[in-house]
Every structure is written in C-alpha cells, then in structure tokens.
Amino acid sequence: MALCIGGETANCFVLGYFQGIFDVNDPLWPQSVLTRRVKPLFSFGYMLCAGFVPYFITVLKNQNGNQPHAQQKVPLRQFEEGKSVQAAAGPAPYHSGKTSLLVRQDSEDPLVEEADLGDILSSVVYFMSRNFKAYSALGFIYDPVSQAFALNSFHSKSLSIIKDMQIPLGRGVVGKIGVDKKSFISGDLSNYSAEVLYYSGISPVKSIVASPIISEAKELLGALVIDSQDPHAFKDEHQEIMRRFSHLAAALITNVRMRLYQERAAQHFQIFYEASQQFITALHLDQVFDVLVAMAQQIAVHTRIMALTAGEHNDACTVVKIRGPSPEISEGFCFGPNTGLYSYALQKRKIVNVPDFQQFQGKYYRMAPDETANESIRSLIIIPIMGEENRPLGLFSVESDEPSQFLGEMETVLFTLVSNASVAITRARLYHQMEMLAITDGLTHLLNHKHFQTQLGKEIERSRRYTRPLSLLIMDIDYFKSFNDTYGHPVGDLVLREIAKCIMEAIRVNDIAARYGGEEFAVIIPETNEQRALATAERIRTKIEQRVLESGNNLLHVTISIGCALYPDHAATQQELIENADKALYFSKENGRNLSSLYTKEMAASH
C-alpha cells in the first residue's frame, strides 16, 4: 500500500499536476480552483485506490487460510526457525490446510493439550512440496492414546484431501510406516496392497515416499508423506532427503512439546502458589474444601468434583462438597467400608484412576451397590487425603465425561494439590477442636454455660426480629447429690454423660443443648410454642426415665425435673426468660419431681 501511494505521488509531481496548486498569490487562483484542481484531485483519488484496494483484497483473502492462494517465497532462515509459511505457487495452484496439534508429554500419557498449533509442520511440508515438486505433501502427528495419525498440515494440487483424516496405526501406507518405523518408497502403488487413505474417492497418485517422524528417544511422533501422479517420480536420494525432513520435523515437535510443558509447569506453579496462600487463611474445613475445589477446576477438565471426609475410624465416608451436575449423589451422602471404589481408595490409601469407567459399569460400583448408574462418567480419579501418621482424612475425586483425562502428568498435579490441602485440613481440624474446647463442656460435650448465654441472646434477637416464638427448658437431675454420695463421683460423671446423650437423642437438629452448671441442663428450642415445647420436655424426661445405667453389678435409674418458659409470652428479656424457666423447674421439684412444668404467673407469686 505504501509503495503504491508513494509511486502515484511521485508520478503526479513528474507530470506537473501539483504546479501552482498551492500558489495563493496567483490572482487567478480562486477562479481556477475547479479547472486546475480537477486533475490533481482525480489523481489523488486514483492514488488512494491504488494503495488501499490491493491492501483490503489481500486482507480479505487471508481471512480464510484453507482457500487456494498463491504462495510467497519464504526465506530459508524462517523455515529453519519453524515459522509458518503460506502455500506454494507452481504450475498448478496448491491448496493447503491445517488441523490442531495433539500435544502429549510422552507416549504413555493422555492428551494434555490440544492447542492452536496447526502450522507446526507447515514449514516442513511447504519445502517438501517445493523440493520434490510433489502432487501432495502432507504432515501427520501421531496420537498414542487413539493410536492414529492425525493430518496436521498439507500442500496439494488436489481438492480431495480429507482435512480431518485420522489414519489408524497399521492401516495404509502411513499406518504401516508407524508399525515398521521405517521409510517407504514406491514408484508403482498398484504393486502394493497398502492404501493411501487421505484422498476422498479413488487415489490419483502412483508414486509415494513416506517417512516416520521419530524422536531421539525412539518415540513415534508422526509421519511425512509426498506423492506424485507420475509413476517412478521419486528415487532413492529422495527417500534420504525425506529422512532429513523427518529429523527436522521431530525437532520442531519436540521443541513445541517442551515449550508447552514449560508453560504448563509455570501455570501449575502459579496455581500451587495461589492455593498455598489461600490455604493459609482457611481456618475451617469448608473454606479449605472451597479452595481445593476452585483450584482443581482451573487445572483439570472436569464434569464433577467432590470432596469427602472420613469417619473417626474410617468406617464411613461423607460427601461434604460437590461442584458440577450431580443428580444421583448429594451433599451429606454417606457410605460405609467395602462398598466400592471410593471405600477401596480410603482403606488402601491408594489413588484410584479409571481411564473409562463405562467399561466397568455394572462390574464395579463407586460408593454403594444400589447406586444409580451415571452414563456420563468416563474418566474418574479418587485421591486419598492423608493426615499425620498416614491416617486418611477423606477423599477428593474428579470426574469427566471424556476418557483418559487424568493419566500421567495430570494425576501428579492433582495429587500435589491434594497433598498441599491435607496440611490445611489437618490445621482446620485442630482449629475446630480448639473452638469446641472453648465453647463446650469437656464431660458432656454439650455447650458450656458461657456459650449457652451467647446462643440464647442470638435466638431471642432472631425471635424478636421475625416474631417467632422461642422456648427454653431448664432441667435438673433428681436427688443427684445423694446419688453421688452413694455411688461416688465416677458414677456421677457417668450419669451426666448418659443424660447428655438422652437429651441429644430427644431434640431436633436445630435445637441447642447445654450443660447449665453442675447437674443442671438447658435446651433452647427455636420457633416452638408451648405445646411443642412441653412435648419435647416430656420426650427428654421419658427417655431419661427409661434409660438403664450399668455401673459394675449395679443397674441404676435416674429421673429429671424440667421447667419451661416462652419468649415473649413469659418474659421480655433474656434474664427474665431464664428466671421464669427456673421457677417452673422448682415447681416440678416441689410437686413430686420427674415432672415437666410450663411457667405460669402463679409460680412467680409463690416465689
């Protein structure tokens, strides 16, 4: 564009079109605007068209890389550096094409990246087509998982090249050199049973040279092919030159792999660093699992991710976190030992990595024998979360609807991430234990008096805000002092622990139980009227009355008295609510014990 504009400008000066056009002192200048400027203006317009029109035509043509186009000469230095080049021009127009490169860490590893690097072999293929004057020149990349050669780049005078061709190992000319790992040359293909395969319809070629691309580690990377419509078009020296092209192609592929490996390593390092920073600030298990799941989502191609915690004796495992569609498994799902792949990974402390679970559907189950089948699961990896002294803390699993997603390098990356998370999980558990020690009673494991007061204040505020009733039970063990004097304090401690268990068995999940002090207990019952509160009190009283306590050869029975008060019906403040529930408790004791009583105004008058 610049050359065209510059050339036309110079041409205008040579022809004198600009003479006098800027001379404002000329008395005829205003009158000669039209007569003296028409030609220069026309020249300027022509000049701009001459520059811009070819430019935009080139841009539009280059937007479609698969259309036929004339090939430019490419410097040899650019070819040696492996840079992309365009299709070659010759007596007949060439047609070129590219596909995505399959990049793997090694021959046993799964697909780790499918990048937009379709031109990796185009430089080699371009020079092959020019050097040999071939009818078609093609480059293939070998995929060790599918065991097939994928067409990566080509230059051809034919329009019948199958651009997304996959040639299985062992099939046709290309597949055969993959098995033999030796180059192949033929001047008359009719003498061989091997097919060309990459043309649609009948193959138009008679001569062919195919050479495998093999790395220095003797790994099969791909294949290079040239063919001709003429018989005996290639000689032995052409076969040797093709081997040299293959060595160059192997170096290009290896360099791309190394670069991608370094890029992935840098990305993984950044993710590990971010994860470690977030694990440091995660003080609760839920926060740790949130970080773990979020980081795994950045690393792995997944359909569903799950985090599970193990029971105290590894006898059960519970799903605590799920990301992704999960119609058959929900958070809170629990399973026991010897029930499938998940329990196997937990008990054996080993990674379970299944490339394609659908091959084992019906033969192995994941969590339970009666689980609902999930046909979308292909890849599945289950990684134990290990704590101190090689004790499993739980499991972490990633699933994908694509096969072979977590083999090789990906398994190592996920294992490293989970190992970092295990330290944070151990710390979160210790933090939780310290929190529980601060708010619970060490003997009964119910809330202590201080935390009971805090929780009661919160529930009263919630009751006031949403105008919902709130009930409070205060209970006391009948004749506990004489019981202690008769059987001793160890038996008294046993009684306190058993009563705490009875209370927890009788209340709802949202109810809050506490050891109020000594032999006294309290239960906060949110959103409950007096009838339901008394029903809960009776359920606790009956369960304790029926409980048989074994102490040596003695079978002991204890009873409990309960008082109940409601907010805001019986009290306007927290302290008043406690006092009125306590008055109802004393009413139960004064009227025979082993009794549940609801506060009334008469009780206040009697005290």
- Which token pair is 146? 């599918």
Residue 141 CA to residue 150 CA, distance in Å, equals 5
What DSSP letter does each residue of 211-268 carry, written as one string?
EEEE-TT--EEEEEEEEESSTT---HHHHHHHHHHHHHHHHHHHHHHHHHHHHHHHHH
* Residue 571 CB partners (closer than 8 Å, separation 6+): 565, 577, 579, 580
How many CA atoms lie less than 13 Å away from 30 in the CB half-sphere? 1
* Catalytic site includes residue 519: yes
Q: What is the dihedral of CA 105, 109, 111, 114, to 10 degrees?
A: 10
Cβ 411 vs Cβ 381: under 8 Å:
yes
Can you state the angle between helices 530-546 and 489-506, rounded to 10 degrees?
140
Closest by CA position to 594, among listed 519, 524, 537, 522: 537
- The letter for the amino acid at 116 is D
Residue 275 CA to residue 271 CA, distance in Å, equals 6
Q: What is the dihedral of CA 83, 87, 88, 92, to 10 degrees?
A: 170
What DSSP letter does each residue of 553-588 carry, written as one string?
TEEE---EEEEEEEETTS-SSHHHHHHHHHHHHHHH
Residue 509 CA to residue 527 CA, distance in Å, equals 13
* Residue 435 CB partners (closer than 8 Å, separation 6+): none
Q: Specify the 3-state DSSP secondary structure of 38.
A: helix
**Degrees, nearest 5: CA angle 42-46-50:** 175
- Candidate list 519, 538, 576, 579, residue with the active-site label: 519
The catalytic site residues sit at 519
